[in-house]
Amino acid sequence: MKRLLPLLLAWALLCGCGADQPASSQGPAAGDTQYFFAMDTLMSITAYDGDTAAALVAAQQEINRLEALWSRTRPESDVSRLNAHAGDGTAVPIQPETAGLLETAAAAARESGLAFDPVLAPVMDAWGFGLTESEATAVHRVPGQEELSALLPLTRDLPQAAALEDGSYAAALPLAGQAVDLGGIAKGASAAYVVQALTAHGVENAILSLGGNITALGSRPDGQPFRVLVTDPLDSEESYLCTIALGGGLTCSTSGGYERYFTSGGAAYHHIIDPATGYPAQSGLLSVTTVAAGPALADAWSTALFVLGLDRALELWRAGEGTVAGMELILVTEDQRIYVTQGLEEGLQLHGEEAGYTYEIVRR
């Protein structure tokens, strides 16, 4: 879960955290903002033009509708019904939005070599990071190797979604005991639907903070790109690594082990599980920020690249083909090196030198 930490800072948003209006902003230029709780996190949407009142209501309704389809904890959701029939051969009817998200999640899983895995739920549950994202109700523990070895085979076969002859959709899970959890991609994916709801009410400029995934529609009222602050993973409550410019149509998503973790026996265990081992990823990275035109892919790949590590992330980015090649990245290593890909250089402001960070612009 990407946490929201309110900050009153003029024209700036917090990537991986959230957004607030500046304290000094008044009148139409400040926009109209709706705050609400959905998908187990605090969200905000600020619209600067159009019929903002109707647009914000429609946007929140769209989030609620998607949550009802994609939640693991709601018995009648598409995801819950799909999980209930895992391995029994049933083709479960699902909505087009769910079919599309399952297809996007499976594509990211295949391209990343399962570094992003939408059926990792049984392993996540074993660690206590699964059915609820609420730290107040989660029961964390370190599962044994024998237990993980029994669960890992359930994370290899992806859900299968198909269009039927009548134009409807259905999906199936091939193995008994499998479970889909779309929490690592659903918040990002919902941004595309929210943008549609906003533009349908005449909104051309808005900023969305959906569980820490920041999506820009258009620009600030002064015509400049929105500004996004990237959290310092070693001091996530107080400090920031850098500020980047976020152009219209782009989404910024951050994943890091600092976001959710527990300690046991003097060791810390974070929530980003490596599907290859069943244990928290030990890739040498503290956080990964992705900036992409596709909000769902930005969300999924921030997790996948954290699992894959620095060298593989930059290899994929430099390859010139595939999903990651079209993204921009901020990769933060455990020894406090920060790698920023060249597309983010314009408008980049650095904040972490005093905390011991060094920066490098990565070029193709």
Give pLDDT tens digits for 294-311. 999 999 999 999 999 999
State the burial class of residue 166 (Cβ atoms within 10 Å of its Cβ: 0-12, 13-18, 19+).
exposed
Maximum Cα–Cα distance for the chain, whole Å?
61
Q: 3-state class of 300 per DSSP?
A: helix
How crowded is residue 266: how many other Cβ atoms within 10 Å of its Cβ?
5
Residue whose pair of structure tokens reads 């570094």 in the numeric block: 115
Residue segments in the chain with a per-residue pLDDT below the cut of 50: 1-11, 16-28
Instruction: Name the residue among 237, 80, 307 with its Cα closest to residue 171.
Output: 80
Residue whose pair of structure tokens reads 């939408």 in the numeric block: 118
Q: What angle do CA 222, 224, 226 make, to 5 degrees?
A: 110
Helices 96-111 and 186-199 pack at an angle, to 10 degrees, of: 130
The b-or-e profile of 312-346 (16+ CB within 10 A means b, else e) is bbbebbeeeeebbeebbbbbbbeebebbbbebbee
**Predicted pLDDT at 138:** 76
pTM for the full model? 0.92
Whether the CB-CB separation of 231 and 89 falls below 8 Å is answered with no
**Predicted pLDDT at 38:** 96
CATH number for 73-172: choose from 3.40.50.1820, 1.10.10.10, 3.40.30.10, 1.10.3980.10: 1.10.3980.10
Instruction: Name the residue among 254, 250, 258 with its Cα closest to residue 242.
Output: 254
Q: 3-state class of 72 per DSSP?
A: coil
DSSP of 237-285, one letter per residue? Answer: TT-EEEEEEE-TT-EEEEEETTSSEEEETTEEEES-B-TTTSSB--SSE
How far is Cα 89 from Cα 105, in angstroms, rounded to an integer? 21
The 8-class DSSP code of residue 299 comes to: H
3-state secondary structure 106-166: HHHHHHCCCCCCCCCHHHHHHHCCCCCCCCCCCCCCCCCHHHHHHHHHHHCCCCEEEECCC
**Predicted pLDDT at 6:** 32
Bridge-partner residues for 94, per DSSP?
Answer: 169
State the burial class of residue 350 (Cβ atoms within 10 Å of its Cβ: 0-12, 13-18, 19+).
middle
